[in-house]
Structure 1
Amino acid sequence: MDETTDQSLSRADLARLVDCFYERIQVHPELGPIFNAAVDDWPEHKALLTSFWASVVLGEGSFRGNPMAVHRALPDIRAHHFDQWLLLWQQTTGEVLEADAATYMQTLANRIGHHLSRGVGAVRPEFMMQD
Structure 2
Amino acid sequence: MPSIGPTPELRAQTRARLAPGAAAGVTEAMIHRLVHAFYGRVRADAVLAPIFDAAIADWEPHLDRMCDFWSSVTLMTGRFKGQPMAAHLRLAGLEAAHFDRWLELFRETAREVCPPPAAAVFIGRAEMIAQSFQLGLAHSRGELPVLRPPA
TM over 0.5: yes
Tell me the number of residue pairs that the alignment of Structure 1 and Structure 2 aligns: 125
Aligned to 1:68: 85
Letter in 2 for 1:55: S
Counterpart pick for 1:6 among 21, 24, 28:
21
Q: Which protein is bigger by CA-based radius of gyration? A: 2
| Aligned-partner SS, 1:65 | coil
| Aligned-partner SS, 1:103 | helix
The whole-number CA distance in structure 1 between the counterparts of 2:141 and 2:112 is 34
1:49 matched to 2:69: no
Aligned to 1:129: none
Q: Aligned-pair RMSD on alpha carbons?
A: 1.5
| Aligned-partner SS, 1:71 | helix
| Aligned-partner SS, 1:6 | helix
Shift of 1:3: 7.6
The whole-number CA distance in structure 2 between the counterparts of 1:26 and 1:71 is 17
Q: Structure 2: which 5+ residue stretches go unaligned?
A: 1-16, 144-151
Q: Normalising to structure 1: TM-score of the pair?
A: 0.90
Shift of 1:124: 1.8
| Aligned-partner SS, 1:40 | coil
Q: Normalising to structure 2: TM-score of the pair?
A: 0.79
Shift of 1:5: 2.0
Q: Is the deviation greater in 117-126 or in 51-60?
A: 117-126
The runs of 4+ residues in structure 1 deviating greater than 4 Å are none
The whole-number CA distance in structure 2 between the counterparts of 1:19 and 1:114 is 23
Show CA shifts across 1:38-96 (max 9, x none): 01111110000000000111111010110100110001110111011001000000100
1:90 matched to 2:107: yes
Counterpart pick for 2:51 among 1, 22, 34:
34
Letter in 2 for 1:5: P
